Amino acid sequence: MRDVDKLLSEIQKNLKAPKSQYNSFGKYHYRGKEDILEGIKPILGEGSVTVIDDVQLIGDRFYVKSTARLSLGNEIIEAIGWAREPLNKKGMDESMITGAAASYAGKRALGNLFAIDDTKDNDFHHGQQQPQAANVQQNQQYQYSDMY
């Protein structure tokens, strides 16, 4: 087993990411990307976590594809999360809409990487779904590779 796999296992076993955010409109607590990243810090050790966003036009809609990457030395593990920009969001300008979609996609990518089950979270149902387009790989959850 690679060192990064051992680190991932350790994080998955010990990660505490409470639902410290509150949605006053929907009246529910949820965990955000920031909560997950904050929960990782005490157990990350020599590893590092990055989240990379890529905005893609699929059909006539914009989607944010976030890749969460756990690195340890030259070893990496990645997971992907998606979110779709809504056509409009009351009270938000376009940059805020993109930022909200990126935040949610990043949360989904981190959740996929660290095995965080949000199906019981109310924001899971309020969030975006993975795009159903032919040019997007639907079942790609984890990529294991070595950096060169």
pLDDT in tens, 58-105: 999 999 999 999 999 999 999 999 999 888 778 888 888 888 999 999
Task: Please give the pLDDT value at position 132.
Answer: 44
Q: What does the DSSP 8-state code read for residue 138? A: S
E strand map for 36-123: 48-58, 61-72, 75-84
Give the domain ranges of the chain. Answer: 3-132
pLDDT above 70: residue 112:
yes
Of the chain, the percentage scoring pLDDT greater than 90 comes to: 56
15-29, 41-55, 59-73: least confidently modelled range = 15-29
The residue with greater pLDDT, 122 or 117, is 117
Mean pLDDT of the chain: 82
Burial of 81 (0-12, 13-18, 19+ CB in 10 A): buried
pLDDT above 70: residue 139:
no
Read off the pTM: 0.77
pLDDT above 60: residue 120:
no
